[in-house]
Amino acid sequence: MESDSGFRVRRVYDPPEPADGRRILVDRLWPRGLSKERASLDEWLKDIAPSNGLRVAYHAGELDFAAFQGHYQAELDDPEHAAAVEHLLDLGSAAAVTLVTAVKDPGNSHVGVLTAHLAEQGRKPGR
């Protein structure tokens, strides 16, 4: 799946494809049951994922998706996350980049929020 940002999005459990380019894991936690070799990642960018507190609150049902989305969008503008966003945009400026995640429905997760944020930045990855 390619997002509006131009970054490709795939599940980390799917086998790598040549079109993936650089494979960047964008989850805070390592995917269960997956070896580093099988993941075939170029980088694990934990700092771009939602904070641990936000992740825990959302999964505990303390926040609905709309509230989670708003909080995560705000986090993406904080200095730690903004540096990770800039790093990802820099990686994507020269080559194809695939954001990989363990979530079952990337479009309705932090990955969907992240790709929308990347699209707002107006820079698409190279091909």
Number of domains in the chain: 1
- Domain range for residue 102? 8-121
CA distance 127 to 51: 31
Is residue 106 in some structural domain?
Answer: yes
Question: For 82-92, how does the pLDDT look when each residue is reduced to its tens digit (9 = 90+)?
Answer: 999 999 999 88
Is residue 127 in some structural domain?
Answer: no
Q: What is the pTM of this model?
A: 0.88
Within 8 A by CB and 6+ apart from 51, the residues are 75
Is residue 13 in some structural domain?
Answer: yes
Is residue 3 in some structural domain?
Answer: no
Is residue 1 in some structural domain?
Answer: no
Helices 65-76/79-94 angle, 10° precision:
80
Question: For 6-64, how does the pLDDT look when each residue is reduced to its tens digit (9 = 90+)?
Answer: 799 999 999 999 999 999 999 999 999 999 888 999 999 999 999 999 999 999 999 99
Is residue 2 in some structural domain?
Answer: no
Q: Which two structure tokens, joined as six digits, stand for 106?
A: 């990337």
Residue 122 has pLDDT above 70, yes or no: no
Is residue 126 in some structural domain?
Answer: no
Q: In the β-sheet with 97-101, what is the strand arrangement from edge to edge?
A: 8-11, 97-101, 22-25, 43-44
Q: What is the pLDDT of residue 108?
A: 87
For the four alpha carbons of 56, 57, 61 and 63, in that order, the dihedral sign comes to negative
Is residue 89 in some structural domain?
Answer: yes
